[in-house]
Chains A and B, each alone.
Chain A
Amino acid sequence: MRKNFNEVLKERELREKETSEEKEMSLDSSERVKVLSPGQMVFKRFITNRLAVVGSAILIFMFVFAFIAPIFYPYGQTEIFYKYDNSVVDLAQAKVRNEYTAFYKEGAEGVHSSVRNKLTSTITSIEAAGAEEGTIVSSEGDTYTIEKNNDAIYSLFASDYKEICNVGGTSKVGVYDLVGKAIKYEEDVTEVSGLEQKIASAIKDKKTEVSLGGVTYSIKAGKMKKYDIYATAEGFNYTGAKLGAEFEALVSETGTSGSFEYNGKTYSVKTDKNVTTVSEVAGKNFLAYLTTYAFDAHDESTALDDQFKFAALDAIVNGEGFSVNGESFTVSKEDEEFVVYKAGESEAYAALSTLVIRRATGEDNLELALKEKTREVIEEMDASGERTAKFNWEIAQVDANGEYTYDENGDLVKEEREITITNKNGSYTLTVEQVVYLIDTFARPSKEHIVGTDGDGMDVFARMMYGGRVSLLVAFVVVILETILGVIMGGIAGFFGGWVDNLIMRMVDIFYCIPSMPILIIMGALFDAMKMKPYHRLAWLMVVLGVLGWAGVARLVRGQILSLREQEFMVAAEAIGLRTKRRIFTHLVPNVMPQLIVTATSALGGVIITESTLSFLGLGVKHPLATWGTMINSVSTAEAMKAYTYIWVPVGLLICLTVVAFNFVGDGLRDAFDPKMKR
């Protein structure tokens, strides 16, 4: 076992004392002077420097804060926090329906769209006129009638026609081809015998009209020796008995389409391809019920199909019960409302109302009791003219994830809440204050989050720790990298000298001259363009910083080695015949160590500043990795700067403190290694 130098000295002196028996005290006696090794000397000088000690303490704190504290801190750097907050949510919408929905009789669904589109407007005009019925004429000229059953139900009928006569009009018969001497008839036009010869002679005579069988045909020349033939029928061609001049006058008065009454019968006029047909309206054909009623099933799970709805409307109009799919129902009127009961059951099966109440999402699954309560309240509101009303109701409780909560019996947990109804131009909105689960952004400092949360709902204190970890890691890796590069290059240059030295030193000059910040910004933009992953980016950033920074170290090492290699111990090393590698790395480099340590320590601070500046500009380490620079950048707008000083000021101070500490320690180390600077 090696003994301490002090102990060895003490032992020797004790031995000498025993032998000499002289009680002589010398100046360098170990009893008076404690001999320190060079390392201990440096250490002693270091710890007597107050600033250096403060710096070391700060650094120890930072390392604990960044590397050890996160282990015990409950939150991670990318953990997003949520909070429950009372928020007013739209529960439901209520609206008085004034759109009519048609429920068609089976087999009557094919009503022309021009009629479908006019249904509601026709009913509106019927209501406006206070009439009981109205008619719609489709674009094809068919007449439909709408009859009122009650306030909210109308019936749609189609008219049945019996053709009476057709009135002359011009229609295209076909095309006469002079080459083939034949007529190519239009579709649905019957051939007229003898017409071809008549037209051939008319064309020869350059006449434009021929008449045949009471019909006048006109000829119009077309292209390629083809002629278009039009037929103009004359007068009324009755299918049955003639109805006389008065009837014909009414027909021409009506025009191309419409209807009129004659002799107690209704006639309809329709024009198709220039031929006007007059038909007698013989009867009407029931097609559909039109209603503003909305159906609310009592049981939320019951889906009411159109068949059921049609049958129910039919029952209301005809005052009977109905049966659908083998089940029979009865309808009764209660308080302006129709309620459907299943046969033999006393509880309502469904209700019909013109006030539609739906969830804000549009789904129809609100419970019937709430709907009825809402109707009541809205009626009261309408009666009193209030714009808003409130009532309490038990609604299903929603938990953190926005899902319903159930008790141990599997029933929905309900809580009483105040529901507000607001009337806005006839549409009612039901709002309720509910607990909602939100991302907790920019929370003020609290017990859970010592420094609050940032704009992404992440804990700022946790990110400070992890940010410190990244910053310190980057600093150390970069400095180690540039020191290794610098020592190798500087060592080679200093030791060999000559053209090697010249070459390496010119490289050093070049790297000294390269503007590093612009290069880093360009690299940042390049990484952005390459859409690099955060961790890869971090690694590349460290490499780039290291490569840009080695020149200073190399210059320092070379300078030191140039002066050291002329010294006697190097001559001795050469004389013993040591290999070059060993002479450089075991004899020269350790002598450069003190300066290296000092510059490296100060360089650590510089790297932290560079990294945080880059991250602040958004070109360094990227989200979601936390670094001190990005944390400050996230609140760099004027508003955020003012509102969230508790985020960016502590982070900025952490950066300053760390860099100051590195500089303190660096200064302390330099003074300790090089006591010449001390007076």
Chain B
Amino acid sequence: MAKFILRRLALSAIIFFFVTFIIYVLECSLPTSYVEKQAMELALRPGNTKSAQQWIEELNAQYGMDQGIVKGYFTWLGTAGKGEFGDSWTQTMPVTELFRKCIWYSFAMGLISFILEIIIAIPLGVMAARKQYSMADYTVTVFGLIGISMPTFFVATVLKLIFSIRLGWFDLVGMQGRNYATLDEVGRFWDLVAHLVLPIATLTIVSIGSLMRYTRTNMLEVLNADYIRTARAKGLPERKVISHHAFRNTLIPLVTILGGSLPGLFSGALITETLFGIRGIGFYSYYAMTGGDIPFTMFYLAFISILTLLGNLISDILYAVVDPRVRVN
């Protein structure tokens, strides 16, 4: 097992290396006007003593962009390895500080919608599988499919129309109400919660369908298995067949996939956060990417890559842990 994990880790490191390299190449092939724009701005600041050209050279040197792509990449990798990611250009603060500032909003949103997703999707999926081709099954299938099929921005827009504009329950965008400054600590917390309701609802609606379908498919597969027929033939009560024999086996792929998506809770919701103006990592990275903020973009993309790799690793390990049959191979 340890050897397996070590091999996977080594592989992940290699993949991470190449992914960040590709991203770096992409970032460097962006028009240099971003660096130039930044240099112009820096050159125009009060108290500035350098010319724009000097700033361009300095910025290029700072991000290793004057040494060619390959060498520059290793420079970036070297400083990133020490935990130094430079200053975000759009937010003018160290990247790591910005990350600490925004990550918890993203994580809170991700975690709550993840829990909601599990609570709603798994029971519905199991129910649909138990009564295949019933009305309940069709309803679950159709609603699950619709959930998958709706683009995030459309769900967000519809929710905004209904709950923000028509009913006026929540603010349209942002994280603070108009009277935020007058509220006490507890009031501020509830204000924040109120502003997170619609984004979390959006995330849940969009992601619930696939988990529901996944549960249903796996449950169906298990229910078709021979040992279920055996269990039934032995005369076990249906409740026991489902909860003891079928559901536990369905949990194998479910735990694998859910465990794999745990790191993803930190990755933020790019579209949702941007549309609702939630100052999470997705929001900042969106504006960093469109605004050519190379330091933060590089950091964000490297972070996402690590999360993805970690997710794959966790699900591989969990697969082996949960299902004894895999360990044999």
Residue positions of A touching B, CB distance < 8 A: 51, 506, 509-510, 512-515, 517-519, 521-522, 524-526, 529-530, 605, 609, 612-613, 616-617, 619, 629, 632, 636, 638, 641-642, 645, 648-649, 652, 655-656, 659-660, 662-664, 667, 676-677, 679
> With A506-B15, A529-B33 as given contacts, are A515 and B146 in contact (CB-CB < 8 Å)?
no
B145 touches A509 (CB 8 A): no
CB B130 to nearest CB in A, in angstroms, measures 12
A660 CA / B165 CA spacing, docked (Å)? 27
CB B140 to nearest CB in A, in angstroms, measures 12
Which of A517, A655, A659 is in CB contact (< 8 Å) with B270? A517
**Interface size class for chain B?**
35 or more
Chain A residues within 8 Å of B289, by CB: 518, 521-522, 525
B138 touches A613 (CB 8 A): no
Could you give 27 example pairs across A and B, Cβ below 8 Å?
A: A506-B15, A510-B15, A513-B15, A513-B312, A514-B23, A517-B271, A518-B297, A519-B23, A521-B270, A522-B27, A525-B30, A529-B31, A609-B149, A619-B290, A632-B154, A638-B164, A641-B165, A652-B154, A656-B146, A656-B151, A659-B150, A659-B151, A664-B145, A676-B224, A677-B217, A677-B221, A679-B224
B290 touches A525 (CB 8 A): yes
B22 touches A510 (CB 8 A): yes
**Given known contacts A636-B157, A648-B157, A655-B149, what 6 new A-B pairs fall within 8 Å (CB)?**
A51-B142, A514-B23, A521-B289, A525-B292, A530-B31, A667-B141
Chain A residues within 8 Å of B132, by CB: 679
Q: Does B186 have its Cβ within 8 Å of any Cβ on chain A? A: no
- Secondary structure of the A contact surface, majority rule: helix
Residue of B nearest to A526 (CB): B30
Scan B183-223; emit 1 where CB is below 8 A from any A CB, else 0.
00000000000000000000000000000000001001100
CB B206 to nearest CB in A, in angstroms, measures 10
A513 touches B161 (CB 8 A): no
Considering only residues 221-245 of chain B, those with a C-beta below 8 Å from chain A are: 221, 224
B22 touches A663 (CB 8 A): no
B309 touches A513 (CB 8 A): yes
Scan B250-281; emit 1 where CB is below 8 A from any A CB, else 0.
00000000000000000000110010000000
Scan B154-197; emit 1 where CB is below 8 A from any A CB, else 0.
10011011001110000010000000000000000000000000
Residue of A nearest to B309 (CB): A513
- Secondary structure of the B contact surface, majority rule: helix
A581 CA / B26 CA spacing, docked (Å)? 35
B220 touches A616 (CB 8 A): no
The CB with the most chain A CB atoms within 10 A, among B31, B148, B300, B305, is that of: B148
Which of A519, A652, A676 is in CB contact (< 8 Å) with B158? A652
Chain B residues within 8 Å of A525, by CB: 30, 289-292
A676 CA / B157 CA spacing, docked (Å)? 40
Q: Does B152 have its Cβ within 8 Å of any Cβ on chain A? A: yes
B271 touches A518 (CB 8 A): no
A642 touches B165 (CB 8 A): yes
A519 CA / B305 CA spacing, docked (Å)? 12
Chain B residues within 8 Å of A667, by CB: 141, 145
B161 touches A641 (CB 8 A): yes
> With A613-B153, A616-B151, A619-B290 as given contacts, are A645 and B15 in contact (CB-CB < 8 Å)?
no
A636 CA / B271 CA spacing, docked (Å)? 14
Q: Does B136 have its Cβ within 8 Å of any Cβ on chain A? A: no
Q: Does B304 have its Cβ within 8 Å of any Cβ on chain A? A: yes
Chain A residues within 8 Å of B152, by CB: 613
A51 touches B141 (CB 8 A): yes
A642 CA / B31 CA spacing, docked (Å)? 39
> With A509-B11, A652-B157 as given contacts, are A638 and B149 in contact (CB-CB < 8 Å)?
no
Q: Does B19 have its Cβ within 8 Å of any Cβ on chain A? A: yes
Which of B151, B165, B286 is in CB contact (< 8 Å) with A638? B165
B14 touches A506 (CB 8 A): yes
Chain A residues within 8 Å of B153, by CB: 612-613, 616-617, 629, 632
B292 touches A518 (CB 8 A): no
The 8 closest A-B CB pairs, nearest first, are: A659-B149, A652-B154, A660-B149, A515-B304, A616-B153, A525-B290, A529-B31, A609-B151
Chain B residues within 8 Å of A659, by CB: 148-151
Chain A residues within 8 Å of B146, by CB: 656, 660
Q: Does B285 have its Cβ within 8 Å of any Cβ on chain A? A: yes
Q: Does B301 have its Cβ within 8 Å of any Cβ on chain A? A: yes
Q: Does B74 have its Cβ within 8 Å of any Cβ on chain A? A: no
The CB with the most chain A CB atoms within 10 A, among B138, B150, B217, B224, is that of: B150
Residue of A nearest to B224 (CB): A679
Which of A510, A638, A649, A660 is in CB contact (< 8 Å) with B145? A660
A645 touches B300 (CB 8 A): no
B15 touches A642 (CB 8 A): no
A632 touches B149 (CB 8 A): no
A420 CA / B157 CA spacing, docked (Å)? 47
Chain A residues within 8 Å of B151, by CB: 609, 612-613, 616, 629, 652, 655-656, 659
A605 CA / B150 CA spacing, docked (Å)? 10
CB A365 to nearest CB in B, in angstroms, measures 51
> With A632-B157, A660-B149 as given contacts, are A521 and B19 in contact (CB-CB < 8 Å)?
no
A663 touches B145 (CB 8 A): yes
Chain B residues within 8 Å of A612, by CB: 151, 153
Chain A residues within 8 Å of B113, by CB: none
CB A207 to nearest CB in B, in angstroms, measures 62
A645 CA / B158 CA spacing, docked (Å)? 10
CB A454 to nearest CB in B, in angstroms, measures 16
A641 touches B309 (CB 8 A): no
Chain A residues within 8 Å of B220, by CB: 677
CB A520 to nearest CB in B, in angstroms, measures 10
A515 touches B160 (CB 8 A): no
A517 CA / B153 CA spacing, docked (Å)? 14
B30 touches A514 (CB 8 A): no
A663 touches B149 (CB 8 A): yes
CB A475 to nearest CB in B, in angstroms, measures 13
Chain A residues within 8 Å of B285, by CB: 518
A619 CA / B30 CA spacing, docked (Å)? 15
Residue of A nearest to B308 (CB): A513
B292 touches A613 (CB 8 A): no
A649 CA / B166 CA spacing, docked (Å)? 15
CB A73 to nearest CB in B, in angstroms, measures 24
